[in-house]
Structure 1
């Protein structure tokens, strides 16, 4: 039977045409000649090789050149492709390098010592996929896809092109391999890696997930290493995440409650405004109109005064919450510095919300006291007699 290594000798001595239809093969030595004769005379070798000799048998002579049509050989023998991009056309080759292959653009065979840069990048990507597969719940080598389980379920097809291989940095792949294939705490490490893969890629379109992973590989490895450092320090990454999220929810409810507690009083401001605007009358004497206007003005002042006390109390509560948030953030940076950057933005958002609530309350008080000032101005304008003359 013919072997792929015999075919490689033929490929090396072939000048491939641009369209691949007619190629010129130089019979350089006896090995090439014997292989061609085997293909020419043996039906099994002819079918397995994928090589069709276009010239007559008497032209098979040493140092001669013949026309041949070259197609990929039987898949069991090996793979023939123009370049790495052609090799990736087969889904199985995206997840695992074929055991035997030849790239005729690079003039490279699978066992050559001098490896071109394109193949080096391809092999680095294969190393990356093997490391990621350790964290996957299921890997389909025929469809070239993996399923990750953790906080949810995520399917990642290994879809990529030769141009995407530039994103794969060997040093980062080395770090991931050292992390995943070390036997100590391997189950915990792969669980952390799977969770980070899901968190990083879950919002991406399915067909773009692996490419997105390639461009964010440094981020993935860093987060995974940080998560393991927490575990190694007897702290679970998920536990820290859960505790932080609980604290954030608690503080969010507290901030919301500061406004909810005075909501009824604030809702009364428009009603009081309408009452004042419609009930104040012109008072020419110290009669009923004067005393009614005075009562309304005093009532509006007391209402705003009590509202101011309530708002001041809520502002003090916001200050306390802000202080607690600051201490929690400092503790996070101090004790869990390796993953603090992942949670600090949540505290920053709460701080921004506190600032907004504080300004809303201040604006409410400013508007209310402005209304009180306007009420007394109107009272004085509507009262013909001097107010103190009526007492």
Structure 2
């Protein structure tokens, strides 16, 4: 024959008005399932022993709508747990590590599978989540004796001892933060090591059996201190990586900036040569002779040279603008993603920006000088060359 289950007992508990000692009470037989369960207990020895329920009323009282007196004790251990209150649930060490699979709390009229959760159960489950998070940082957790051992700057044993009255300060937000911190895969080993060290530091001076209660009372402090410790670690971890990447980027941008001038260096070096040519080759020309055509060729050649140089310089100025825009984006990204160490690298970007501005000034200076030279060339041309071009073309 099938054995009685804990789920069959829950309706009996719900419809019983328990006495002050919670050792029994009067049950109202509200429906057929309750009546069937009572008859099962009354006629089957295994069900009687497993349920822990003794029916004290006469058998003729077992009718739908009737009331019977019961003596109720804890059911068989493997069946489930009947507790007077939440403190009764956590009286067992194992239940301070993990929630029992089947249980009923008389004071809260709560069964393990109820969807509406009273505050005491909610906080009990929060503490179990807290214990799971702390277990990630512990070197060893004994689930049978509810003890966690932490290793770090020393060794500390923390018995998980608490009552409902001790966990009123626990909030879901704080437990959520600790879970997010501990169970995130990035730098998990370093995070649990930081948490372990902070637990030891926080609780080492407390009596052994008070350590967990003290930790719960100062949980917010523990979480904040652990997060700050990780931020420091992350900054130190990221520093060398950021430093290397930034230095490589700075070197690359420096080469690009240098290249903007190097690419037109030969043309720029030709400016003095062109100046000498203009200064020495322009002759006095009063007729449409060789001197006239030589002066025209020199002037046109100098102008064409400056036009081509202008095109090259404008192209390099556009390249500098592109580099400057890219630098600004890189700087903003560094400031946003690595705010804790960004200040140490910003001067490098400022130095590059200054160098870009200097190159711009130089390039604009070259253009101005060259076009002034073109103007002077044509001025000298007109001073030395008497015939008009149109006259010489028709001569």
Unaligned runs of 5+ in 1: 237-334, 338-391
- Whole-angstrom CA distance in 2 between matches of 1:183 and 1:43: 53
- Whole-angstrom CA distance in 2 between matches of 1:20 and 1:215: 31
Which residue of the other structure, out of 23, 34, 49, is the alignment partner of 1:47? 49
Q: Which runs of 4+ in 1 moved over 6 A?
A: none
Q: How many positions carry a matched residue from both structures? A: 239
* SS of alignment partner, residue 10 of structure 1: helix
- The answer to whether the 8 A contact 1:20-1:69 is kept is no
Aligned residue number for residue 144 of structure 2: 142
- When Rg is computed on C-alpha atoms for both structures, the one with the higher figure is 2
Report whether the alignment pairs 1:63 with 2:65: yes
- Whole-angstrom CA distance in 2 between matches of 1:218 and 1:182: 19
Aligned residue number for residue 133 of structure 2: 131
Aligned residue number for residue 154 of structure 2: 152
Deviation of the 1:235 alpha carbon: 4.7
Cα deviation per residue 1:131-152 (whole Å; 9 max; x = unaligned)?
A: 0011111111111110011111
Report whether the alignment pairs 1:38 with 2:10: no
Aligned pair in 2 of structure 1 residues 43, 207: CA closer, same or farther (>3 Å)? Answer: same
Deviation of the 1:336 alpha carbon: 8.3
- The answer to whether the 8 A contact 2:151-2:196 is kept is yes
- Whole-angstrom CA distance in 1 between matches of 2:340 and 2:95: 41
> Could you tell me the TM-score, scaled by structure 1's length?
0.59
CA RMSD, Structure 1 to Structure 2 (Å): 1.7
Which residue of the other structure, out of 20, 27, 30, is the alignment partner of 2:22? 20
Report whether the alignment pairs 1:97 with 2:104: no
Cα deviation per residue 1:311-349 (whole Å; 9 max; x = unaligned)?
A: xxxxxxxxxxxxxxxxxxxxxxxx989xxxxxxxxxxxx
Deviation of the 1:56 alpha carbon: 2.3
Unaligned runs of 5+ in 2: 239-338, 342-395
Deviation of the 1:54 alpha carbon: 0.8
Aligned residue number for residue 202 of structure 1: 204
Deviation of the 1:35 alpha carbon: 0.5
- The answer to whether the 8 A contact 2:93-2:144 is kept is yes
Deviation of the 1:214 alpha carbon: 0.9
- Whole-angstrom CA distance in 1 between matches of 2:340 and 2:236: 12
* SS of alignment partner, residue 154 of structure 1: strand
Aligned pair in 2 of structure 1 residues 173, 36: CA closer, same or farther (>3 Å)? Answer: same
> Could you tell me the TM-score, scaled by structure 2's length?
0.59
* SS of alignment partner, residue 18 of structure 1: coil
Deviation of the 1:57 alpha carbon: 2.1
Aligned residue number for residue 251 of structure 1: none
Aligned residue number for residue 284 of structure 2: none
Cα deviation per residue 1:30-50 (whole Å; 9 max; x = unaligned)?
A: 100111111111111111111
